[in-house]
């Protein structure tokens, strides 16, 4: 059983490789993990092409939703993107917040930060910055963000309680988040859960949907809502890397599954510490 630091190192190493991969290779896999499918092109990602501010060079096809589409970003907002990668969601958020706002992307993979900074330099934006840091201990002051977004990243964090507590800390009172992530309904077969590539590809790091929502509630967030939900269908040629034919059939027939959800929540406008009962 790997400890939290081992898992972080695994994800960091894998995403350093992903930063150099072709977008098509990432889109045909599970968030950039190995085992590209020959059956379908796009397993998890949604199409950003219709969103204003979209920059194709920053799109590594690593997401599982479109959180910026649902985030309700207003002109002048400060937006924080957790696990910002090459900057895809940051640039969409920058279009929404405009010249008077600010966007801060945080990623703990140096290769991704380097790629994102290169992209923002080419675009010439002065109000988008990328910081190297851990989501469990964000390099951002408290009460900074009007909006937090994240796309298929938080499930990779070993200590989700810390990650959600950090989201709460950096949001201003009355601020909100919109995060797309991978959750489970029912237990995955052990072959999938234990595969390193599937962990870095955001499947084995996922937790049960009900637990995910409860952790957000326990962190102090209110008005939680599912903005979008879709089932993730992993093609048979990828499943075959981890499961026998009979196990694949059992998995397909079990009713259990992997889902992408986009979740909304708010930090109360006036509140004391989460769990104190005063909110």
Between helix 110-123 and helix 4-18 the angle, nearest 10°, is 40
Identify whether the C-beta of residue 177 lies closer than 8 Å to the C-beta of residue 145.
no
pLDDT at 145 over 60: yes
Q: Maximum distance among all alpha carbons in the chain? A: 57
pLDDT tens digits, 9-65: 777 777 666 666 555 544 444 444 444 455 444 455 677 777 899 888 888 877 888
pTM over 0.85: no
pLDDT tens per residue across span 253-279: 887 888 889 999 999 997 555 555 555
CB atoms within 10 A of CB 210: 11
Spatial distance between the Cα atoms of 41 and 256, rounded to a whole number of angstroms: 23
The DSSP line for 24-36 is HHHHTSSTT-S--
Burial (Cβ within 10 Å: 0-12, 13-18, ≥19) of residue 52: exposed
Sheet hosting strand 128-132, strand order edge to edge: 128-132, 102-107, 78-82, 145-151, 171-185, 257-266, 222-232
Comparing 209 with 271, which gets the higher pLDDT? 209
Pairing type for strands 257-266 and 145-151 reads unpaired
CA end-to-end span of the chain: 38
Domains of the chain, by residue range, sit at 4-266
Is 95 strand, coil or helix?
Answer: helix
pLDDT in tens, 165-195: 999 999 999 999 999 998 988 887 877 776 6
CATH of 4-266, one of 3.40.50.150, 3.40.1280.10, 3.40.50.300, 3.40.190.10: 3.40.50.150
Which pLDDT belongs to residue 241? 81
């Amino acid at each position: 059983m790997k400890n939290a630091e081992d898992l972080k190192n695994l994800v960091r190493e894998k995403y350093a490789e992903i930063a150099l991969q072709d977008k098509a290779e990432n889109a045909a896999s599970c968030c950039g993990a190995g085992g590209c499918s020959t059956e379908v092109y796009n397993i998890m990602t949604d199409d950003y092409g219709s969103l204003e501010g979209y920059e194709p060079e920053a799109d590594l096809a690593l997401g599982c939703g479109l959180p910026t589409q649902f985030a309700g970003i207003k002109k002048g907002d400060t937006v924080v993107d957790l696990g910002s990668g090459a900057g895809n969601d940051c640039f969409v958020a920058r279009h929404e917040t405009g010249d008077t706002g600010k966007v801060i992307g945080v990623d703990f993979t140096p290769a991704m930060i380097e790629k994102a900074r290169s992209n923002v330099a080419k675009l010439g934006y002065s109000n988008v910055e990328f910081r190297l840091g851990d989501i469990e201990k964000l390099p951002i002051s408290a009460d900074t963000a009007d909006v937090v977004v994240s796309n298929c990243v938080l499930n990779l964090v070993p200590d989700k309680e810390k990650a959600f507590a950090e989201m709460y800390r950096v949001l201003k009172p009355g601020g909100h988040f919109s995060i797309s992530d991978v959750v489970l309904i029912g237990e995955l077969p052990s072959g999938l859960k234990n595969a390193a590539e599937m962990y870095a590809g955001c499947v084995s790091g996922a937790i049960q949907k009900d637990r995910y929502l409860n952790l957000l509630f326990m962190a102090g967030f209110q008005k939680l809502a599912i903005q979008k939900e879709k089932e993730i269908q992993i093609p048979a040629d990828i499943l075959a890397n981890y499961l026998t034919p009979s196990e694949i059939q059992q998995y397909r027939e079990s009713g259990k599954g992997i889902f992408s959800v986009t979740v909304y929540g708010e930090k109360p406008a006036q509140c004391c510490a989460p769990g104190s009962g005063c909110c």
